[in-house]
Amino acid sequence: MQDCDYRDTHLTHLGRDATVSGGFVNVPVCRGSTILADTLEQWTQRKEPDNPYASYGRFTNPTLQTLAQAVADLEGGHRAWLFPSGLAACTHALQGMLQQGDHVLLPDSVYGPVRAFALQVLSKRLGVHVQFYEPSLGAGLAALLRDNTKVVYVESPGSGTFEIQDIPAIARCAHQVGAYVIMDNTWATPLFFRPFEHGVDISIQAATKYLTGHSDALLGVATANERAWPLLRQAAHDFGQTAGPDDAFLALRGLRTLGVRLRQHQASALQLARFLECQPQVRRVLHPALESHPGHALWKRDFHGSTGLFGVVLEPLSAEQLSRFFRALRLFGIGLSWGGFESLALPMDMPLRDGRPLFGPGQLLRLHAGLEDVQDLQDDLQSALTAAYRVREVCRA
């Protein structure tokens, strides 16, 4: 792993502008639609060619602007746009780069709702050629590229399956045919993966997760480089995409503590992953920072750290045993999303690749290590494993 680089000083100070906040440490929640101009000249001036939209609440607002700039800055991109959810950021980035007849490549490990959007909207309704590829392909992706390939989508690690992708190799191939590389960088956050240093053109954060960090808002951010920015901005405008200032304020607040939170998520998840790897009821742990992970070397080369979400494959168990596992958990909640302060556990369907279960037989689980004491979390998992696999006294008549 490269040296940990939390950039805490940067996180503490970025986007703080006393002229916007009136001296307060935090920029206020700015609510509003109409922005009045003092004179007709000022009104005309605001609609300058570089920013014809700087005159309405849907296009600009000090709270939204501060967050967008802070995230663009952290990701290392040119500009960012806010969306009302992480999924909206993914779908609008995709449709903004694509038109009828274009070809798009997405990894098999892509976030499920993005896969559904690609099939139901891009393919069926917009006439885009959608193709899925094996996430570990790397430079082998070149064989799949066509003259009309406009987007190569990447997500590393993969949703629920945690494959690490060779993003620099993929980006080099994609750029040879002029395609845009769109990355879902939610798992690593810009603190642990610098997308633009690895050839990404648009980086997406489901800010619902770590950026906001408290499970109290839904928000997405897409950051583009200079090449992709005009198309991304146009797509956001054409579809009327914006975000609420209260949610943006919460994300800005979350951002200040991203470094310290991730440090704890990282340490706790690693301890739990190592613990689980030694348990007889566990077939496999899917965590890229473990030496046993097939993508470990790539992760070490490209990432600055690991976060709190990882996968576990339990030895095969019955529905009744799985139910006992979840009933025995006291601290891990059963629920969607992740990236908040609380620990979560969720059973996942084992994905099929080429018709076969990806990780063999067994039950796939997704765990999020929250900010509870890690020993308490470990004890919780231990007792759930014991409850699920304990030999029951069978009464025979």
Ligand X SMILES: *Cc1c(COP(=O)(O)O)cnc(C)c1O
Kindly state the smallest distance separating residue 275's Cβ from ligand X, in Å. Answer: 24
Nearer CB in complex with ligand X: 87/170: 87
Choosing from 102, 108, 184, 247, which is the catalytic residue?
184
Choosing from 31, 58, 124, 356, which is the catalytic residue?
58
> Max alpha carbon distance in the chain (Å)?
93
Strand pairing category for 202-206 and 220-224: antiparallel
Of 263-292, which residues contact ligand X (CB under 6 A)?
none
Say whether residue 159 binds ligand X (CB under 6 A): yes
Per-residue CA distances from 136 to 141, 157, 227, 351 (Å): 9, 10, 27, 15
Say whether residue 206 binds ligand X (CB under 6 A): yes
Sole window of 57-65, 81-89, 278-286, 381-389 interacting with ligand X (rule: CB under 6 A) = 81-89
Say whether residue 90 binds ligand X (CB under 6 A): yes
Say whether residue 86 binds ligand X (CB under 6 A): yes
The whole-angstrom separation of Cα 155 and Cα 109 is 8
Question: To 10 degrees, what angle do helices 229-238 and 86-97 make?
Answer: 110
The binder of ligand X chosen from 65, 95, 161, 186 (CB under 6 A)? 186
Contact in structure between 343 and 331 (CB atoms under 8 Å):
yes
Does the annotation count 184 as an active-site position?
yes
Of 166-185, which residues contact ligand X (CB under 6 A)?
184
Q: How many CB atoms lie within 10 A of CB 291?
A: 8
Question: DSSP letter string over 78-90?
Answer: SEEEEESSHHHHH
Contact in structure between 234 and 88 (CB atoms under 8 Å):
no
Kindly state the smallest distance separating residue 87's Cβ from ligand X, in Å. Answer: 4
Nearer CB in complex with ligand X: 160/362: 160
Kindly state the smallest distance separating residue 251's Cβ from ligand X, in Å. Answer: 11
Choosing from 79, 102, 108, 111, which is the catalytic residue?
111
Contact in structure between 27 and 21 (CB atoms under 8 Å):
yes
Cβ neighbours for 124, distance < 8 A, ≥ 6 positions apart: none
Distance of CA 282 to the CA centre of its chain: 26
Kindly state the smallest distance separating residue 90's Cβ from ligand X, in Å. Answer: 6
Kindly state the smallest distance separating residue 339's Cβ from ligand X, in Å. Answer: 8
Site string for ligand X, 212-241 (x = CB under 6 A): ------x-x---------------------
Cβ neighbours for 101, distance < 8 A, ≥ 6 positions apart: 127, 128, 129, 148
Contact in structure between 220 and 244 (CB atoms under 8 Å):
no
Say whether residue 208 binds ligand X (CB under 6 A): yes
As given in the structure block, the two tokens for residue 334 are 């059963």
Nearer CB in complex with ligand X: 81/111: 111
Nearer CB in complex with ligand X: 83/180: 83
Choosing from 115, 194, 209, 284, which is the catalytic residue?
209
Say whether residue 343 binds ligand X (CB under 6 A): no
Sole window of 50-58, 86-94, 254-262, 266-274 interacting with ligand X (rule: CB under 6 A) = 86-94
Nearer CB in complex with ligand X: 86/195: 86
Kindly state the smallest distance separating residue 208's Cβ from ligand X, in Å. Answer: 3
Total number of residues that touch ligand X (CB under 6 A): 14
The binder of ligand X chosen from 66, 85, 149, 321 (CB under 6 A)? 85
Does the annotation count 58 as an active-site position?
yes
Q: Where does the chain show beta strands of DSSP type E? A: 79-83, 103-107, 129-133, 149-155, 180-184, 202-206, 220-224, 282-286, 309-314, 333-334, 344-348, 352-353, 356-357, 363-368
Say whether residue 111 binds ligand X (CB under 6 A): yes
Nearer CB in complex with ligand X: 82/388: 82
Question: DSSP letter string over 81-130?
Answer: EEESSHHHHHHHHHHHH--TT-EEEEETTS-HHHHHHIIIIIITTT--EE
For binding to ligand X (CB under 6 A), which residues are involved?
Answer: 85-87, 90, 111, 159, 184, 186, 206, 208-209, 218, 220, 337
Known catalytic residues are 58, 111, 184, 209
